[in-house]
Amino acid sequence: MTSLLEFAAMVITISVSGVMSPGPLFAANMAYGIKGGWKTGFKIAYGHTIVEFPLVVLLGVGAISLSALAQFREYVSILGALSLFCFAGIQIRNALKKSTPEYTQRHGPFLAGILLTALNPFFLVWWFTIGFKLISDALLLYSFIGIGVMFGFHIWMDYAWLGTVGYFSGQGKKIFSAQNYKIFMLAISAILIYFGIVFLTQLLH
């Protein structure tokens, strides 16, 4: 049986693919962080949470309802594995690109966090595929409370990452050089592929 530490490690490493990927939320955070520093990062993360937490709860309720279906676990494992492979490919493609996302400030950071989360198809697809697999595993291990356990292991990364990016933006600095960030994202892609293989091999046991 998977231990709490092993489950935490899996959630955290897989969550990096969504938390640290360049996108509209990341670009907005850098734009707002120039003036507001880490505080704007937290405000954006809070707006992000307003959308993310209800979605996770709804997916958890859906997973409970579907768990009675025959071979539900097998289908979820296959979906999760294929999604990890797809997102790894997307990460590799993005890492090899030289362009970076831009954002024009139209709203405050809190509202931007809500809008850029709710309207981001990457976010929704991630939770309906990879995230759904994590939620299903959490329910299997810890019943309904597992949703809160899984979300706790995931959400702190949003605050830590967005707060850190906001802070360095306010200082006029970068956390990673372009080359180091590319290497980091390629390493994350390799981890996603690894967990995709793990999900598929679980079907054999």
Tokens at 86, concatenated: 């797809």
Summarised one tens digit per residue, pLDDT across range 164-177 is 888 888 777 666 66
| pLDDT value of position 48 | 93
Separation of alpha carbons 165 and 104, rounded Å: 17
Residue 155 pLDDT more than 90? yes
- Letter string b/e over residues 89-108, b meaning 16 or more CB atoms within 10 A of that residue's CB: ebbbebbeeeeeeebeeeee
Separation of alpha carbons 1 and 19, rounded Å: 27
Tokens at 128, concatenated: 């309906």
Tokens 């046991």 belong to 205
| pLDDT value of position 169 | 80
Structure confidence at residue 196 as a pLDDT band (50, 70, 90) = confident
Give, in order, the Cα–Cα distances in Å from 4 to each of 8, 11, 60, 149: 6, 10, 19, 9
Summarised one tens digit per residue, pLDDT across range 72-88 is 778 888 887 888 888 78
Separation of alpha carbons 96 and 182, rounded Å: 7
Structure confidence at residue 30 as a pLDDT band (50, 70, 90) = confident
Summarised one tens digit per residue, pLDDT across range 96-153 is 775 555 555 667 889 888 988 888 888 888 898 889 989 999 998 888 899 999 999 9
List the Cα angle 84/86/87 in 5-degree steps.
Answer: 65
Helical residues (DSSP H) of 97-130, grouped into ranges:
109-118, 121-126
| pLDDT value of position 150 | 94
| pLDDT value of position 92 | 82
